[in-house]
Copies of this chain bind each other. A is one copy, B any other.
């Protein structure tokens, strides 16, 4: 199911700057019980991203209405929203009047062979580095070749995520997820000042932990330092929170802090459903 600027169509014009230059951004949203989860948070990030990229923010009421239209009667699904700068301009120069393209698409919720939130996953370190550019850091933009190249590094289905470092050797995030770790009772996550995607679940984990008196420190760290962590987990809007139980031949326990944060996030998701109904 697809809506392009409100119309049922399955394609975009070749001249769209999303295709020509990756000139746009996207959101990936979990649908549960006909409801786009944490939708307001996704709309807020989308708005902030449009502002930073100087793309006019789409009408959020229209966007919400279209999302509802696609989500009805969907128990579990994934909603992807792409906003591009639209067509036109001369080369990189954008046209004076922008007509952004708005693409909503619905996808089956991925089926995983195990209950990864419960049992944890195996992860690896990727070779492909994340480039450094504060001007784009944090934005979920359409320039994702680094993630594509990193994800192409392994075919082993026993490994569910790869962790990426920036060109200076700081671990930043997974190919599709944000990274947290616990050391001596303190919860950490990498700073995303120079690169990385500021994930919605990352933001909620920081908020929930803070609300419960468990502060999160944003900190750079190396692969060696991560291997000395007590707990590790990765998170995104579709997978929720996946504990990492094996990374580069090191085993990790699923710790109490990870379990606590999973519980808080589940509770928040259920509250959000109920408020919406």
A contact residues vs B (CB 8 Å cutoff)? 2, 4, 10-23, 26, 53-54, 82, 84-85, 90-94, 103, 105, 110, 128-136, 141-152, 167, 175-176, 194-195
Contacts of A149 in B (CB 8 A): 53-54, 135-136
| Nearest B residue (CB) for A92 | B151
Report which of B2, B22, B92, B152 forms a contact with A14, defined as CB distance below 8 A.
Answer: B2
Between A and B, 15 residue pairs with Cβ closer than 8 Å are A2-B14, A4-B14, A19-B19, A19-B82, A20-B144, A21-B144, A21-B147, A22-B22, A22-B144, A91-B151, A92-B175, A94-B148, A128-B135, A132-B132, A132-B167
Q: Are A103 and B14 in contact (CB under 8 A)?
A: yes
Q: How far is the CB of A109 from chain B (nearest CB, A)?
A: 12
Q: Given that A12-B14, A21-B22 are known contacts, is A94 also in contact with B151, CB under 8 Å in the complex?
A: yes
* 16 further A-B pairs in the complex, CB-CB below 8 A; given A20-B144, A23-B144: A10-B13, A11-B12, A12-B19, A16-B19, A19-B19, A20-B142, A21-B143, A22-B22, A91-B151, A94-B152, A131-B136, A131-B195, A135-B146, A136-B146, A142-B145, A143-B144
